[in-house]
Amino acid sequence: MKKDAKITKKKEIMISGLFVVLLVLINYNIAHSTVNHYCNPGIAFGVVLPTYLFTVMWVATMSIVGYLYMTSHVNKKNNVKRLGLLMIITGGIANIIDRFLHNCVIDYITLVPWNSFNLADTSIFLGAMIVLWYQWSEPKSQSPDIDSE
């Protein structure tokens, strides 16, 4: 059973890697095209943080999410949670690669005049919503000390 879990994790990581490459290629092509885009040097809503603070926050967040992914068991019950965690990881990696390539994140989807975002941001947001949904909908196990009648 452990061998199957390792194979599944490897497949998930390979597919996630391909998704990161796809996101980076989309952003790169948009950055070098005539498509209307915005170069966001900050985080969400254009908030600019000092480089050291951004780096610490990014590394801490990716470490926590990566740890949660690596320690989650491969089974049908956890598949949704694992998908959400991988979506957060792939979006975060794609955005950090954007920062290295362009010194900013390329945002190109504008739904409201004061904010733009990209597919990596969407992946992070949807992944977080999936993990939260999973946590809230997961049945709680009862403590053995509680008598249920």
In tens, the pLDDT along 77-113 reads 788 999 999 999 999 999 999 999 999 999 999 988 8
CB half-sphere exposure, 70, CA atoms < 13 A: 6
pLDDT band (50, 70, 90) for residue 46: confident
pLDDT for position 145: 45
Which residue among the candidates 4, 98, 121, 145 is catalytic per the annotation? 121
pLDDT for position 76: 74
Which residue among the candidates 4, 107, 145, 147 is catalytic per the annotation? 107
pLDDT band (50, 70, 90) for residue 147: very low
The reply to whether 145 belongs to the active site is no
Q: Give the predicted TM-score (pTM) of the model.
A: 0.85
pLDDT for position 81: 92
